[in-house]
Chains A and B, each alone.
Chain A
Amino acid sequence: MTVESTAARKPRRSSGTKRAAGAASAAKPAAATAQTQDAEPQLVQLLTPQGDRVDNAENAEFAPFVADITTEDLRGLYRDMVMTRRFDGEATALQRQGELGLWASLLGQEAAQIGSGRALNDADYVFPTYREHGVAWCRGVDPTNLLGMFRGVNHGGWDPNTNNFHLYTIVIGSQTLHATGYAMGVAKDGADAAVIAYFGDGASSQGDVMEAFNFSAVYNSPVVFFCQNNQWAISEPTERQMRVPLYQRAQGFGFPGVRVDGNDVLACLAVTRWALDRARRGEGPTLVEAFTYRMGAHTTSDDPTKYRRDEETAAWESKDPIQRLKAHLLATGGADEAFFAELEAESEAMGKRVREAVRAMPDPDTMAIFENVYADGHALVDEERAQFAAYLASFESAEEGH
């Protein structure tokens, strides 16, 4: 996509604010419907797929939010994406080797996750789905923590308050309400913080997501809804989820919606910083639609070749988020081959570490079934725990008898 073609299209941002109200009201419903079929919809973009820096009227509001980004920062973003992809690839391999029961790959969505994840402050709070491995990386969550639930040794298992990163949520869209409630609490506390809720294009069909939009708007809560529109909800394309572009939905709830190039880490960083900044200033929620693509399967249990065309996947390969930043770094002299080689070695070492950690991960103790069901205890759980312990002990005493 060229800069010119982007600029020529109609505005991509709807808003509840006075400033953009004119642009939003100018969009006709018929045109909006037609836009769902667009192969190249309008996006906030700062780096082209070729790695060229874009400066245009469309990104002018957001570009200042990454004006401070140094070459070293860009290398850092690149490192985050490479490490995340390596981790994700390792997990996929571990699933194929039978070490994990399931894996939800983020392949192709590294820029959306690293860009938005690096926009967060320490005090901000994240409510992820089950695919936010890159955001977890940005929060400093030990990658092996993410694998416990996929290996079947726990259902999450980490303390969300250690890194302000909530447990993965599997039921689609539920966490957008948790994020909204948490943000209501942040506002009550008068804290200088914001909350970000991740979800996908499929989740946008869920009632909970609409309720989260509405609650956050009504209470003016400091929450950013970050939708990674990866085009597919397992086998269902976005046409089965919506008739109008996702970001436009925010307008109906009374807050701004922005569509950003989800394969452009710099644009994702800028737009998310902008949205978080609004939230922290008390200007309420924002919907960010990161327009991206899931290059792999929904999870290791489905087969994308059954429901999508190779040409489509190939077209998105040319927009790869990592290659894009690499091209930019090479073209601007921001990094040399030594940097890339060093990073390759680092990511390989991380993959090895993860592999070893997963294989060493012990099964939980049998009696863990009864642990943490209740905080204050429960007579029935106590009774069943004692009965089951006695039952297990009966085998031991039987063995002793032989």
Chain B
Amino acid sequence: MAVEKMSIAKALNESLRKALEQDPKVLIMGEDVGKLGGVFRITDGLQKDFGEERVIDTPLAESGIVGTAIGLALRGYRPVVEIQFDGFVFPAYDQIVTQLAKMHARALGKIKLPVVVRIPYGGAIGAVEHHSESPETLFAHVAGLKVVSPSNATDAYWMLQQAILSDDPVIFFEPKRRYWDKGEVDTEAIPGELHKSRVVREGADLTLAAYGPMVKVCVEAAAAAAEEGKSVEVLDLRSMSPVDFDGIQASVEKTRRLVVVHEAPVFLGVGSEIAARITERCFYHLEAPVLRVGGFHAPYPPARLEDEYLPGLDRVLDAVDRSLAY
């Protein structure tokens, strides 16, 4: 056992380091990923140790970053590209959606596109416009992409390596407000499946399902609910494409109530899909409609309003109460 306490940021850094060590075809690409180590320092020290040919500072051009990563993947490399902030991914959206997602199918499986696109996402860091968005639904909707998000240091460490090992393109959303949260990481463990959900806290009365930054909020909500005698189970979904519907179903068949929580707007969000599927699968088990808690159908607000926009403890607990009231 090699258990070490580290932040999510450090776990991601160690994960990239291990991937670079284990496979000479792994490359890191992005704006400022070299000497600076990325604006969040996720790639800190990697260029120093692996050189400019492996850790590549790129021009400021997101479409170019992903487009050239596709070419490198076609040549046999495994590029891990960093998009500096969530709201900056859209210049690359065309390359991701029209090219990266579809090329394997277009070649009838003859070529593989093992590209990982890392995106620090979500709010609550007091940032300016375009630095706090949660666009995961836009990627989960696209066939050919896989979309995941860790919520803790262990998952950050292992899920990133699993994403790099995957022969499919993976959009890897990093909860930037959790970068500095610390946790125990067993660097020699046998990791779980990349796309399986995980029960974070057992409960009997209701299931809270979340991913990324909202897992912590849901754990806190479950603790607060417990003080009122409510037994809330918390599920970390970990993967938005595919979604582990079997894992959610198993939990819901036990608790009979489900609230899905994410920062992204509720309308047509991951929660909407989960509500629909779980209603289909668990209609006779449910004691209440599946509820969703998330962002509003409005542009992400200025930082001084983000606490109102983002689901916090109170809004999650309110949904728990509404569900239990049925």
* Residue from the set A182, A211, A218, A372 with the largest chain B CB neighbour count within 10 Å: A211
Contact B110 A181 (CB under 8 A): no
- Tell me which of A176, A178, A211, A214 contacts B74 (CB under 8 A): A178
Residue numbers in A under 8 Å from B95 (CB-CB): 174, 177, 208
A215-B58, A373-B144, A376-B168 known; A160+B70 contact, CB < 8 A: no
9-residue interface stretch from B149-157, B240-248, B308-316: B240-248
- Tell me which of A167, A185, A372 contacts B75 (CB under 8 A): A185
Whether a CB of chain B sits under 8 angstroms from the CB of A157 is yes
Contact B53 A188 (CB under 8 A): yes
Contact A374 B67 (CB under 8 A): no
Q: Give the CA-CA distance A174 to B103 in the complex, in Å.
A: 12
* Residue from the set B61, B104, B244 with the largest chain A CB neighbour count within 10 Å: B61
Contact B59 A171 (CB under 8 A): no
Interface string of A255-272 (1 = CB under 8 A from B): 000000000000000000
Q: How far is the CB of A172 from chain B (nearest CB, A)?
A: 11
Whether a CB of chain A sits under 8 angstroms from the CB of B106 is yes
Q: How far is the CB of A25 from chain B (nearest CB, A)?
A: 25
A-B contact pairs, 18 of them (CB 8 A): A160-B74, A161-B111, A167-B103, A167-B106, A169-B99, A174-B94, A178-B68, A181-B79, A182-B74, A184-B71, A185-B74, A207-B91, A371-B105, A372-B105, A374-B144, A375-B112, A379-B246, A380-B242
Whether a CB of chain A sits under 8 angstroms from the CB of B279 is no
Contact A181 B68 (CB under 8 A): yes
Whether a CB of chain B sits under 8 angstroms from the CB of A40 is no
Residue numbers in A under 8 Å from B244 (CB-CB): 379
Closest 4 CB pairs of A and B: A181-B71, A177-B67, A185-B75, A181-B68
Residue numbers in A under 8 Å from B61 (CB-CB): 211, 214-215
Residue numbers in B under 8 Å from A169 (CB-CB): 99
Residue numbers in A under 8 Å from B112 (CB-CB): 375
Q: Give the CA-CA distance A155 to B67 in the complex, in Å.
A: 19
Q: List the B residue with the shortest CB-CB distance to A223.
A: B71
Contact B242 A156 (CB under 8 A): no
Contact B67 A380 (CB under 8 A): no
A215-B61, A376-B168 known; A178+B107 contact, CB < 8 A: no
Residue numbers in B under 8 Å from A181 (CB-CB): 67-75, 79
Residue numbers in A under 8 Å from B229 (CB-CB): none
A residues neighboring B (CB under 8 Å) = 127, 154-161, 166-167, 169, 171, 174, 176-186, 188-189, 207-208, 211-212, 214-215, 218, 371-376, 378-381
Q: How far is the CB of A354 from chain B (nearest CB, A)?
A: 21
Residue numbers in A under 8 Å from B77 (CB-CB): 185, 188
Q: How far is the CB of B68 from chain A (nearest CB, A)?
A: 3
Q: Give the CA-CA distance A158 to B68 in the complex, in Å.
A: 21
Q: Give the CA-CA distance A401 to B174 in the complex, in Å.
A: 55
Whether a CB of chain A sits under 8 angstroms from the CB of B108 is yes
Q: Give the CA-CA distance A156 to B108 in the complex, in Å.
A: 8
Whether a CB of chain A sits under 8 angstroms from the CB of B127 is no
Whether a CB of chain A sits under 8 angstroms from the CB of B63 is yes
Contact A177 B168 (CB under 8 A): no
Q: List the B residue with the shortest CB-CB distance to A181.
A: B71
Residue numbers in B under 8 Å from A157 (CB-CB): 106-108
- Tell me which of B58, B67, B79, B106 contacts A174 (CB under 8 A): B67
Q: Give the CA-CA distance A373 to B69 in the complex, in Å.
A: 20
Q: Give the CA-CA distance A210 to B69 in the complex, in Å.
A: 16
- Tell me which of B66, B105, B246 contacts A373 (CB under 8 A): B105
Q: How far is the CB of B7 from chain A (nearest CB, A)?
A: 29
Q: Give the CA-CA distance A181 to B106 in the complex, in Å.
A: 19
- Tell me which of A161, A375, A379 contacts B104 (CB under 8 A): A375
Contact A160 B143 (CB under 8 A): no
Chain A interface main SS type: helix
Contact B64 A171 (CB under 8 A): no
19 additional A-B residue pairs with CB within 8 Å, beyond A185-B72, A375-B112: A155-B105, A156-B106, A156-B108, A161-B110, A167-B103, A169-B99, A177-B64, A178-B71, A178-B99, A179-B71, A211-B59, A211-B64, A214-B61, A371-B109, A372-B108, A372-B109, A373-B105, A379-B245, A379-B246
Q: List the B residue with the shortest CB-CB distance to A127.
A: B71
Q: Give the CA-CA distance A373 to B106 in the complex, in Å.
A: 9
Whether a CB of chain A sits under 8 angstroms from the CB of B98 is yes
Q: Give the CA-CA distance A127 to B111 in the complex, in Å.
A: 14
Contact A174 B99 (CB under 8 A): yes
- Tell me which of B64, B91, B105, B245 contacts A215 (CB under 8 A): B64
Whether a CB of chain A sits under 8 angstroms from the CB of B187 is no
Q: Give the CA-CA distance A376 to B167 in the complex, in Å.
A: 6
Q: Give the CA-CA distance A212 to B112 in the complex, in Å.
A: 22
Interface string of B100-134 (1 = CB under 8 A from A): 00111111111111000000000000000000000
A207-B63, A375-B167, A380-B241 known; A171+B98 contact, CB < 8 A: yes
Q: Give the CA-CA distance A39 to B219 in the complex, in Å.
A: 72
Residue numbers in A under 8 Å from B241 (CB-CB): 378, 380
Q: How far is the CB of B160 from chain A (nearest CB, A)?
A: 16
A171-B99, A185-B76 known; A159+B110 contact, CB < 8 A: yes
A374-B144, A379-B245, A380-B241 known; A167+B63 contact, CB < 8 A: no
Q: Give the CA-CA distance A136 to B128 in the complex, in Å.
A: 49
Whether a CB of chain A sits under 8 angstroms from the CB of B272 is no
A178-B70, A182-B71 known; A378+B63 contact, CB < 8 A: no
Q: How far is the CB of A270 from chain B (nearest CB, A)?
A: 27
Q: Give the CA-CA distance A212 to B66 in the complex, in Å.
A: 11
Residue numbers in A under 8 Å from B144 (CB-CB): 373-374
A188-B53, A211-B61, A374-B144 known; A160+B111 contact, CB < 8 A: yes
* Residue from the set B105, B110, B112 with the largest chain A CB neighbour count within 10 Å: B105
Residue numbers in B under 8 Å from A189 (CB-CB): 75
Contact B107 A374 (CB under 8 A): no
* Residue from the set B66, B146, B168 with the largest chain A CB neighbour count within 10 Å: B168
Whether a CB of chain A sits under 8 angstroms from the CB of B257 is no
- Tell me which of B70, B75, B167 contacts A177 (CB under 8 A): B70
Q: List the B residue with the shortest CB-CB distance to A213.
A: B64
Contact A182 B111 (CB under 8 A): no
Q: Give the CA-CA distance A379 to B194 in the complex, in Å.
A: 12
